[in-house]
Structure 1
Amino acid sequence: MPGGSIYVPQDDKFTGASPQQMYEKFWAEGAKERWIMRGVKAAIGLAVGIGLGIRFSLPSPVLTGIVLAVVVAVADAVWSWKKHEDTAVWRGKRRGEVITARILRRRLTRHGYRILNGRAVRGEASVDHLVIGPGGVWIVDNEAFGPDVELAQYGGRLFFGEKYGSRHAKELNEAATALAEVLTKQTGIPLTIEAVLAVHGGYMRRNAVIAAEGLTLVRPRRVPDLILKRGMAALDAEQIELLARTAARELRRLG
C-alpha cells in the first residue's frame, strides 16, 4: 500500500500500483463475494416474500417470494454498479468536464444561459466552463476524488480528506477574478464571478452543498440548480449576448 508500514510486510502485487489500479484490482477480486452476498439477500427476500404471502393470504405466496427475491437482487446489482460508476472519472474511464458540460447545456440553455467550455485568460487562469445568463456569470471546474475521500468544511476551511482544499479555492477564485476583470473591461458591465467546483466521486453527504473559502462544492447534477437559485445579477438578454460574444473573442479556447 502507498506509504506502507514498518510493521506490515509489503505485498509485491501492490508495489508501484496507483490508487486507481488498486481499486480496480480489489473490485475485480470482490466480484465473487458480491455475488454470494447478492444470493443471500435474494434468499432473505424470498423468505420474507413467502412469509408476507402467507400472512396476507395472497394467492401464491411462493410467487410473491420469487418476485421479491428478484427485486432485491436487481436492486443490489444496480446499487453495486452505481457505486462503481461513481468512480469512473477518478479512474479515468470518463471525463468530468464532458459530463458537466452536458448537464449544464441540457438544464440551463432553456433558461437563457450561455455555456462556454474550456476557456482561459491569455497567460493566466483557465476554467472548464464559463456560464453566462440572467442570474450572472459563473465559472465551473471539475475535480475527481477517490471513493474514500470525504469532502467537508470545518471552521470556514475546506477539507479534501485529510488535506486542505485551500489551493483549489485560491486558484479558482483567482480565475474568477481574472475573468471578471477581462469581461468588465471589454464590455463595461460590472461583474462578480462566482466559482463552483463540480465534484466527481469522493464522499459528500447526500444533496450536500459545501461552501467555504469563496468556493462552492456540489455534485455535477446539482450545479444548474445552484446557479438558478442563487443567481442575483439580473442580466438582460442584450448583456448576456454581449458578454458571451466578448468571452468567445477574448478568452482562449482550450483543446
Structure 2
Amino acid sequence: MFGSSIYLRDRPAFTGGSPQAVHEELWQRGRKGRLRTRAFLAAATLVLCALLVNAVFGILMAVLVASADTFVHWRIYTASRVWRLGLRGEERMNRFLRYTLERRGHRVLHARTVPEHGPADQLVIGPGGVWLVHNEAWAPGTEISQHGGRLFVDGRTQTKLVAGLTARAEAAAEAISRVAEVPVTVTPVLAVHGGKLVRTPFAADGIVFAPPLKLIRWMRRNPAADRSSEEVEAITRAAVHALPIGGRSLSAAA
C-alpha cells in the first residue's frame, strides 16, 4: 500500500478501530478538557496565593501547579506508549538493562530461544543468579494483581501465560546446566509495561511482576545465588551454546 510505513506494516495497533487507535483518539478528544482544568487550577492557585501572600508568590505557585498537572498527564500518556505502539517492551527493557545491571557485572543475552518452549526476551546472568525476563504491555487501566498467590489480569487468571513462562525457565535451566555441567537455576520474572499494578513488586504463581526499573532493583536485592565473575562467564558461555538466537542451532548458524 502506497504511503504506508515499512516499519509499521501489518501492526495491529495501527489498524482503525484497534484498542490502541481508539485510546489515542479519545486522548486527543480530551485535550481541551485537560487544558481547561489546568487553566482553572492555575487561576484558582494564583488568586488564593496572591490573597494569602502576594501577587509574585501567586504567579510562581500558579506556574508550579500548571507544570505539575502537565507532568502528571505526560506520565500517564507515556506509561502506555509501548502498548500504544503494539509492542511488548523488549527494546525498552534492553535499554534499562544496558544502563543498570550490565554496568554492574551482569551479562545479558537478548532474544534467545529455549528449545521446544519458545523465545526468551532477556536472560540476565549475574553474581546473584540467572533470571529469564519476559515482557508484557497492557492497556492503561488494566488491573494486574494477585489473589491467593495467583495472577489476575482484570479479574481473570492467566494460567497459560504463567505456565508457559515457568516451563520456559525450567527448560532453560536444564539446557544450561547440561552444557555447563553444574546445576543452574533460572528464575522467571515478568516486566510489566503499562497497566495498573495494585502493588509492586509482587509474586504470583511463582513469578515476580513489576515495572522494568523496579524489577531490576528487585533482582539486585534478592539474589538466588552467590557466584564469582568466573562462574558468571562460564554460565554465560553455556547459555550461549544452549539457547540459540531466533531458533537457529549453532550448527545451522555455522
Give a deviation string over 1:81-129, Cα, whole Å, max 9, x none. 1101111011117661111111112111232210111111234331110
Give a deviation string over 1:134-189, Cα, whole Å, max 9, x none. 00100111000111210111112110113212221111101100100011000112
* Counterpart for residue 187 of structure 2: 194
CA RMSD of aligned residues (A): 1.6
Q: Distance in 1 between matches of 2:66 and 2:137?
A: 30
Q: Distance in 2 between matches of 1:167 and 1:133?
A: 28
Partner of 1:35, secondary structure, is: helix
Q: Distance in 1 between matches of 2:88 and 2:136?
A: 10
Give a deviation string over 1:14-65, Cα, whole Å, max 9, x none. xx71211111111010011010000001011102321331xxxxxxx11111
Q: Distance in 1 between matches of 2:60 and 2:180?
A: 63
CA contact (8 A) 1:113 1:133 kept: yes
1:68 aligns with 2:51: no
* Counterpart for residue 141 of structure 2: 148
Matched letter for residue 202 of structure 2? I
* Counterpart for residue 18 of structure 2: 18
* Counterpart for residue 28 of structure 1: 28
Which consecutive residues of structure 1, in runs of 5 or more, have no partner in the other structure? 1-15, 54-60
* Counterpart for residue 41 of structure 2: 41
* Counterpart for residue 89 of structure 2: 96
Partner of 1:146, secondary structure, is: strand
Which consecutive residues of structure 2, in runs of 5 or more, have no partner in the other structure? 1-15, 248-254
Q: Distance in 2 between matches of 1:155 and 1:123?
A: 31
* Counterpart for residue 251 of structure 1: 243
* Counterpart for residue 111 of structure 1: 104
CA contact (8 A) 2:127 2:226 kept: yes
Matched letter for residue 34 of structure 1? R
CA contact (8 A) 1:196 1:216 kept: yes
Number of residues of Structure 1 aligned to a counterpart in Structure 2 = 232
Q: Distance in 1 between matches of 2:48 and 2:76?
A: 26
CA contact (8 A) 2:192 2:209 kept: yes
CA contact (8 A) 2:107 2:124 kept: yes
**TM-score scaled by length of structure 2:** 0.87
Q: Distance in 2 between matches of 1:149 and 1:183?
A: 36
Q: Distance in 2 between matches of 1:32 and 1:94?
A: 29
Partner of 2:84, secondary structure, is: coil
Q: Distance in 2 between matches of 1:221 and 1:144?
A: 15
CA contact (8 A) 1:145 1:200 kept: yes
1:133 aligns with 2:126: yes
* Counterpart for residue 11 of structure 1: none
* Counterpart for residue 51 of structure 1: 51
